[in-house]
Amino acid sequence: MVDNNLLFQYLLRLGDDQQILSQRLSEWCGHAPTLEEDLALANIALDLLGQARSLYTYAGEVEGAGRDEDQLAFLRYENEYTNALIVERPNGDFAHTITRQLFYSVYMDLHWNALLSSKDETVRAIAAKAVKEVDYHVRHAAEWVIRLGQGTEESHQRMVEALEEFAIYTGELFEMDDLAQQMFKAGVGVDLTLLRPEWEQQIAAVLGEAGLRMPEVNWMQTGGRSGEHTEHLGHLLCELQYMQRAYPGMTW
């Protein structure tokens, strides 16, 4: 029997990752390098938002306190979010956004596929829909990494800088804290450490084709899973939550 409070926290964690990265990608709307890319990033952001809504809706049902997806998304404080730090990082230039997207999309592709075996029926259903979406996210990011890596001297150098920027945030994705361990033991979650070798292999393959390599990292940034965030999340939430906090209870 799964403890409802633990399941609630686990669903929020998954939802927060998707929600925050969706917000980041939506910032490219109207600013991407090409119209086609403007639409592509917006569609990926919508995919992530849809996943977040499903997870928040289920989390609200599990909590049983009357909170819906809007309240969980828009009316929590910064330290109540447990997203990984990598998704809250600023977009930077296009190379930075694409590097972050490759790292995260490959991770979630493996994660969602593993969750297809979850003992929780609703989690399995959410994962079954998500795997179809994230497959495109991986292809899209990989194609751009290769294009930029093999492109001009400037695009190659920007990719090198982006890899150095985001490599230190990847370790947190595979951490197995107490919540993750309990969800794995209950058969709801997965052992994230088992995903890492395949993640590293897939990332290395894409970077190799792009003429790039993963930087050597001696330490990893962490803290997001316990609500310890960078200053960037606070700024992001100011924009994300403004309407709900300025006009409480507003509906369309």
- Amino acid 84: pLDDT: 98
Residue 219 lies in a domain: no
Q: Give the span between the Cα atoms of 148 and 209, in whole angstroms.
A: 11
Q: Answer whether residue 183 shows pLDDT above 80.
A: yes
Q: How many domains does the chain have?
A: 1
pLDDT digits (tens, 9 = 90+) for 13-51: 999 999 999 999 999 999 888 889 999 999 999 999 999
Residue 234 lies in a domain: yes
Q: Give the span between the Cα atoms of 231 and 174, in whole angstroms.
A: 23
Domain limits at 135? 4-214+226-246
CATH number at residue 41: 1.20.1260.10
Residue 38 lies in a domain: yes
- Amino acid 77: pLDDT: 96
Give mean pLDDT, residues 225-249.
93
Query: Lowest-pLDDT range, 36-40, 170-174, 229-233?
Result: 36-40
Q: Give the span between the Cα atoms of 129 and 50, in whole angstroms.
A: 10
- Amino acid 32: pLDDT: 87
- Answering whether pTM is above 0.85, one says yes
Q: Answer whether residue 1 shows pLDDT above 90.
A: no
Residue 90 lies in a domain: yes
Residue 128 lies in a domain: yes
Q: How confident is the model at residue 252 (pLDDT cuts 50, 70, 90)?
A: low
Residue 187 lies in a domain: yes
Residue 220 lies in a domain: no
Residue 252 lies in a domain: no
- What amino acid is encoded at 190 in this protein? V
**In this prediction, what percent of the chain has a pLDDT beyond 70?**
99
pLDDT digits (tens, 9 = 90+) for 190-214: 999 999 999 999 999 999 999 999 9
Q: Mark 92-131 as b/e (b = at least 16 C-beta within 10 Å).
A: eebbbbbbbbbbbbbbbbbbbbbbeebebebbeebbeebb
Query: Lowest-pLDDT range, 74-83, 110-119, 243-252?
Result: 243-252
